[in-house]
Structures are given as structure tokens and as C-alpha cells.
Structure 1
Amino acid sequence: MGFLVALLALSVMIIFHEMGHFLAARFFGVTVERFSVGFGPILLKKRCCGTEWAISTFPLGGYVKMKGQDDTDPLKTSSDPDSYTAKKPWQRIIILLAGPFANFLLAFLLYLIVALAGYNTLAPKIGKVLPNSAAQAAGLKPGDEIVAIDNHPIKTWEDLSRIIAHANHPLYITVKRRQETLHLTIKPKMTKTKNIFGEEVKRPMIGIAPAQEYIKVKLSLLQAINMAWDKTVEATKFIVVGLEKLLEGVVSPKEIGGVITIMDVTAKASQVGIVALLSLSALISVNLGILNLLPIPALDGGHIIFNLYEWITNRAPSQEVLYRLTLAGWVFLVGLMGLGLYNDINRLLGASHG
């Protein structure tokens, strides 16, 4: 069941991406010859509104085939007015950007659904106070609930963590302890810790850990929109920084996951609950959007670079250069997918022997 949910979730992300290309292409009058969910031999097809709508054998993917454009033949062109190659470079760039944009839009909508439905999160209640910490020195105790910092209301542990992480001055904290309200001043200490990428960093900390107590958060429409926007931006930054760390060698290539890992993690998230599934799907959708914007020939980002070159210089790249770069792009992508699959298999083998 988890596998089917994961397959459905991934298919929705891909359909959204391709629908972005499709709608932008149609807006500029480009004929879309085929819209396929999946790759390989076609299983089902139906012609409607000038486009062949198809479901193909391998569901992990999809494509939009526009008139005058073919990823398998980068030199294919058409001078017909309703073809992709007959359009101005800036129009082609918008068509190319529309796919990744659709992924970011989908992520925003998924985060918005989570926010509007209400979600469980940690209460700002202290479960543990570390010895010799700023919290201990200030008199905080396990069971204390932090209700305000510098007179800003604190509703969740996430609110608390965000303020402390950016504190560069003593904090005026309002604490609820049983039936009494206390007002304490705490000066966060710059403490060595490790970030999500395993790097040693220094950040302000007061030395507390949360109690495993959860509360349900309900938001207004405006609050939900703000949260969905913040989460989409946060996910984007996380993916971009992750790619930077990969290029810098901070993150090992062994951490690259392929489609098996994506399916496995998504299936597990679906078993945890709908909120976990939607949140993970939003993150994966952002990931798809960013990866497609990378300046690699054969990806949207690579095509955007080619069109920018044509727009700026007023001449198309030479066919030989275009062909060689596109071929190199496909070799790189196949190699990357192979590495992801290799890592996936190693993880599965490791898990089975563990």
C-alpha cells in the first residue's frame, strides 16, 4: 500500500511539472504533440484538443513533446509558426521555467493544506535542562513552559528555537511553572554543535531539550499562507545549500539517493500520516524544481542557458556544440542516476544484513 501511495505522490509531482510546460506552451501557441505520464512504450492513449494524452509503461517520469522539439534529437527544429523552435528565445525560456515553477507551486499548495488542516508539533515545554547551561543558571526547570520571549508570544517549540538561534542579546523570558508565572533573563551561550550536514558550527543556545508533549496548531487563512510561503522558501534554501555542500565535499556522494530511496522514504511517510506524507511530498517537489533548473544540458536549466545565449547574442548555438553538450548532459544524468541506484542498492543490502 505504501508503495502505491509513493508512486501516486511521485506521479502527481511529475504531472504538475509537465502541466506547467504544457500550459505555458499552449499560451504561446505551441502545439503539444504528446503529454505522457511515464516513459517507454505507450499503454493507453487518447487524442483530445490537438494533443495525444498517453500513459506509458514506466510510471516514474513523464514528458511533454512539443512540435519542433525532441530531447532525444537536440538538432530537431521546425519553422512552422506553432512550433517551439519558431518562438522567440524569451518565450521558450518562460515555457522551460513553467515546469519547475509548477513544482514550487505544488509545494506551496501542499504546505498550505497542512497549515489549514492543523498539524501536531512540540509544545514549548522543557523536558531537560543541561548542567552548567545558561538555562540552569537562570533557574529554568523541567516541566516549565515558555510562553513568551521579549514579550513575543511563544506557541510552539519551533517558535522558541527560531528566536534563540538568532539571539545576540540577553532574552527576557516569561515562564509558566504550575500555577505561577515567572520572568527570567537568560543570556544564550555560543555553543559548538553540528548542523544537519554534519559540519561543526557555533550558535546561540541556552541548554534545554523539549518534553515530548505535542499540541495541535490551527492557523487562519492568512497565517497558513505565510507559513506555506516560509516553508517553501525554507525547503528551497535547504536543497540549494545541500547541493553546495555536495559540491564542496562536505556531503558525501554516498548520500545521493535514487528513485528507490525516494519511493521508500515516501512510502514510510505515508504510514506515519497524511501530514508527514504531504510535507515530504512538498520537499521532494521543491527538489524536482531545483534539480530541473540546474544548468545541465538535457535539463530545463540547460535549455534555458542555450536560449539565454541566443537571446543575448541574437544567434543560436552551433548545432555541433548543441549536440555535444546535450550528449554530455545525458551522460552526466545517466551517471548520476546510476550512482543513485548504486547507493540505493547498497542501502538495501546494508539494511538486509543489519
Structure 2
Amino acid sequence: MQMPPVQIGFGSVIAFVVIFGLLVFFHEMGHFLLAKRAGILCREFALGMGPKIYRFKKGETEYTLRLLPIGGMVRMAGEDPELEVLQPHMEVGVLFNKANQISHVYVTPKDIPDHATIGNVVRFDLEHDLMMTLDVQGEAKTFAVDPKTMLVIEGKEVQIAPFNRQFRGKTLWQRFLAIFAGPAANFILAFAVFVAGALFFGAPTKDAVLGQVVPDGPAYQAGLKQGDRILSVDGTPINEWNQFVGVINSSPNKKLEVKINRGGQDMVVPVQVNEQGKIMVGAGVKKEVGTALKHGYDQTIFWTKTIFTNLAQLFTGHVSVKDLSGPAGIFTMTSQMAQNGLAALFTWTALLSINLGIFNLLPIPALDGGRLVFIAIEALRGKPIDPNKEGMVHFVGFALLMMLILVVTWNDIQRLFLQ
């Protein structure tokens, strides 16, 4: 498939970053909100990938903006195996809160403040019993640990995650919702964008009423105008827009007698259909809330079905991997849509959001769909899967996913620059 030539400028870059950032933000916000609702400790909410270029912390979560404007993540405690920082016999320094619970554990010797209690770790449980026993000057002392205790490692604070704050410590249903909420947020966003577009620009109606008439097109040259109501074509009564389009499309290179009503008066207008079966007109539109909501729902369902159908053709061999587009192709199409106007950009944003939602639901390790498969397997087995084994599967899946992205990016480069 040859991509249309586009002029790529600063505006195109801004449009791509804003749109893709919006899609990723809503996707990750879906994960974040349902995880927080379940009581899961969310360590990081990140937009982009690669090195961090901006960060701030609010509450328990660090919010970061990363260099590459693709992807994002919500890092939940316990989604991957927790790092084991503390070890028996390790010398640490601890501070206490007003309830005489440990509030800070200083792991790195140089970070230990002068007023800290220093001892060697005898035993500890930071997931269930929330306790720590230290050998302080030859005496074993056991202390309660605050559920929000900070481990200080090389000057950086990391909050502990008791088991009931970890992803794996939640019910199957809570984990399912936290994962599924990401793709679900993309479908909700698509619906909202379709509705917003319909309210701003109008939603096509089923009525056989002309909307935009393209200048110098066949309909324009014949004298048809926006607002004309189509009554019949060559004597065939027309009741709705799709019927009118069907008659026109099946009549390439023909001159048709189109009966219209304009301002209460009926008239017949001869129209020459072009060789593509078009007369270059659009349907009439309405800017009503009810119409916009129905349009948003219909478009979301229609494009979801269409994308799933195309995806099925990929697995059945009817569509080749060479036909797929990666970030470069998406950027090019976003540039094209930006040049076509805001209405086209709204529709494109909604389609990308649906694509992102569906893509993430694929049962591929490292994607949301792959994690949902592991949750389903756990439900069938009746016991959890070893997190280390699951982590390895997701790691391999991520590597394969990166290879796929490289392949489709190469496809984009060939289409854009080598053909």
C-alpha cells in the first residue's frame, strides 16, 4: 500500500505527540484508577519510554515523562517479583514514627543519619506480619513496621509493599479489572471523541438531505446545494441517504434526473455522475446531543468490528505483515489527517484509540491480553502461577514485540522512502 505524500512540519509533530500522548494517557489512567480502587500500590505512572526527562511525586506514586513519546506504564507493586533488598546480618539504620513503628530503613551505610537506631538484621517480614528483628548492640529487638515504611537505598526512597498492597495480593476479579481497564479506557475515549466530533462538526443523518457540496464537483456543477432534500432519482423514490448513495454508486458515467425539494419547491436537476460513481456530496448533519451519542456508539461498534475482522485476516493469511504500519506509518497518516482538517483528525484519533485497545487485548505475553490469559489460567488451576516464570514469559513476549515493531517500522520506511 503506497502512502499518500504529505508535508511533514512542526504542526504534524505536535499533532502526533498530542494524539498519541492522549491515547496512552487514557490507557494508563484506566489501569491506574482501577488499581488504586483495589488498593494496589502504584509505584510509577509513566508516559513515554526510555530515560526520564521530568518527574514529580505525589502521594505514593511517582509521575514521570520519558524521552520517547511512545507507550507508557503503571508500575504496580507485586505485578513483577519485588526486589529483595534486605538480607540477614545486613547492618541497617532505622527511624521510628510516633507510634513507635519503623518508618525508615536505611540500607546504604552512607545514608544512615546520626540519630538512627543501628543494628544487624536478624529476621524480617515486610509483606505479612510487618515486623523486623534487629541485633542492637548484642540484644535482639523486634519492632513493628509501618505499612508505608520507606527503604532508603543510595539516597532514594522506595516504599515497601505489604502483600495486601501488591497486585498479586488482590482477588482475581480485582486483578482482571486493573488490567482490562486500560484497553477499556481506549474504547471509552474513542466513543467520547466520536461524540465530541459529532457535536462540533455534526453527525451524518439517515435523511436524504445534502450536506457539503464539493466545489467544482458534479453535484456543484449541476446546481445542487447544501440542504436540498432528495425525493427521487430517475423516478425511483428515495427515502434515506444510503439508498441515494447506492443509486449514485451504481451509475458511473450516467446522467441522472434527480428530483429535489428546495425551500418548499420541487424541481428536477440533471446530474452527471463521474466514472467512479460519485457526485462529490456529503450527507446532511445534525448537531444534537442525542444524535451525537448514537453516532458515537454506532461508530465505535462499527470500527471495532471492522478492525477485528482485519486482524482475523492477518492470522488467516489474507493480510500480510507487510501491510502493517508502525510508529512511522502512524505518524505519516496523522500528518495527512491534520492537513485534512479537525474533523478528519477527530475521526483518526478515535480509530487509533480503538486500535490501541484491541492491540493490547491480544493474548500476547507482555500485553494486557497476555496478562489476562495468565489470570484466566490461574482461575482454572485454582492456584497462582510462579511470578518468576510468568515474568520470564512476559520478558520473551516483550522482546518479540520489539522485533515486530522493528519489522513494521522497516515496512514503513520502505513505503515512505524506498518506493
Superposed counterparts of 1:142-181, under 5 Å = 146-147=230-231, 153-154=239-240, 156=241, 158=242, 160-161=244-245, 175-176=259-260, 180=266
Q: 1:19 to 1:336 in 2, by over 3 A?
A: same
Partner of 1:90: 173
Deviates more, 1:19-28 or 1:141-150: 141-150
Q: 1:151 to 1:31 in 2, by over 3 A?
A: farther
**Secondary structure of 2:385's match?**
coil
TM-score by length of 2: 0.64
The alignment status of 1:238 with 2:322, answered yes or no, reads no
Offset, 1:306? 0.5
**Secondary structure of 2:303's match?**
helix
Partner of 2:75: 65
Offset, 1:42? 1.1
Which letter maps to 1:107?
A: A
Superposed counterparts of 1:220-231, under 5 Å = 220-231=288-299
Deviation string, structure 1 residues 140-175 (Cα, Å, up to 9, x no partner): x99797447998842x4x56458999xxxxxxxx95
Partner of 2:150: none
Q: Distance in 1 between matches of 2:247 and 2:162?
A: 58
Deviation string, structure 1 residues 293-319 (Cα, Å, up to 9, x no partner): 000111000101101111232112245
The two structures, once aligned, show a CA RMSD in angstroms of 3.6
Q: Is the contact between residue 119 and residue 275 of structure 1 (CA under 8 Å) also seen in structure 2?
A: no
Q: Distance in 2 between matches of 1:147 and 1:33?
A: 63
The alignment status of 1:280 with 2:348, answered yes or no, reads yes
Which letter maps to 2:402?
A: V
Q: Is the contact between residue 256 and residue 339 of structure 1 (CA under 8 Å) also seen in structure 2?
A: no
The match for 2:38 among 18, 24, 28 is 28
Offset, 1:80? 2.0
**Secondary structure of 2:411's match?**
helix
Q: 1:307 to 1:180 in 2, by over 3 A?
A: same
**Secondary structure of 2:418's match?**
helix
Partner of 1:52: 62
Q: Is the contact between residue 75 and residue 323 of structure 1 (CA under 8 Å) also seen in structure 2?
A: no
Partner of 2:107: none
The alignment status of 1:307 with 2:390, answered yes or no, reads no
Partner of 2:281: 213
Offset, 1:322? 2.2
Q: Is the contact between residue 74 and residue 322 of structure 1 (CA under 8 Å) also seen in structure 2?
A: no
Offset, 1:108? 0.4
Q: Distance in 1 between matches of 2:398 and 2:29?
A: 23
**Secondary structure of 1:247's match?**
helix
Deviates more, 1:34-43 or 1:9-18: 34-43
Offset, 1:79? 5.2
The alignment status of 1:327 with 2:410, answered yes or no, reads no
Q: Give the % identical residues.
A: 31
Deviation string, structure 1 residues 169-203 (Cα, Å, up to 9, x no partner): xxxxx953896479xxxxxxxxxxxxxxxxxxxxx
Where do 5+ consecutive residues of structure 1 fail to align? 129-140, 166-173, 183-206
Q: Distance in 1 between matches of 2:163 and 2:385?
A: 20
Where do 5+ consecutive residues of structure 2 fail to align? 1-10, 85-126, 128-160, 250-257, 269-274
Deviation string, structure 1 residues 58-109 (Cα, Å, up to 9, x no partner): 1212111111124xx6999965211111101111000001000100011001
Q: Is the contact between residue 296 and residue 329 of structure 1 (CA under 8 Å) also seen in structure 2?
A: yes
Q: Give the helix-richer structure, 1 or 2.
A: 1
**Secondary structure of 1:332's match?**
helix
Q: 1:177 to 1:116 in 2, by over 3 A?
A: closer
The alignment status of 1:298 with 2:366, answered yes or no, reads yes
Q: Distance in 1 between matches of 2:77 and 2:246?
A: 50
Which letter maps to 1:282?
A: A
Which letter maps to 1:218?
A: K
Q: Distance in 1 between matches of 2:166 and 2:276?
A: 61
Offset, 1:350? 3.1
**Secondary structure of 2:71's match?**
strand
Which letter maps to 2:364?
A: I
Which letter maps to 2:260?
A: K
Larger radius of gyration: 2
Q: Distance in 2 between matches of 1:62 and 1:162?
A: 44
Q: Distance in 1 between matches of 2:405 and 2:279?
A: 41
Q: 1:304 to 1:213 in 2, by over 3 A?
A: same
Offset, 1:323? 4.1
Partner of 1:102: 185
Of structures 1 and 2, the one with the larger relative CO (CA 8 A, separation 6+) is 1
Partner of 1:188: none
Partner of 1:190: none
TM-score by length of 1: 0.75
Q: Distance in 2 between matches of 1:332 and 1:162?
A: 45
Q: Is the contact between residue 50 and residue 67 of structure 2 (CA under 8 Å) also seen in structure 1?
A: yes
Q: Distance in 1 between matches of 2:260 and 2:57?
A: 65
Q: Distance in 2 between matches of 1:159 and 1:299?
A: 43
Offset, 1:47? 0.8
Q: Distance in 2 between matches of 1:87 and 1:342?
A: 41
Q: Is the contact between residue 361 and residue 370 of structure 2 (CA under 8 Å) also seen in structure 1?
A: yes
Q: 1:248 to 1:221 in 2, by over 3 A?
A: same
The alignment status of 1:339 with 2:339, answered yes or no, reads no
Aligned length: 305
Q: Is the contact between residue 49 and residue 66 of structure 2 (CA under 8 Å) also seen in structure 1?
A: yes
The match for 1:115 among 192, 198, 210 is 198
Offset, 1:276? 0.4
Q: Distance in 1 between matches of 2:335 and 2:181?
A: 28
Q: 1:152 to 1:49 in 2, by over 3 A?
A: farther
Q: 1:216 to 1:108 in 2, by over 3 A?
A: same
Which letter maps to 2:366?
A: A
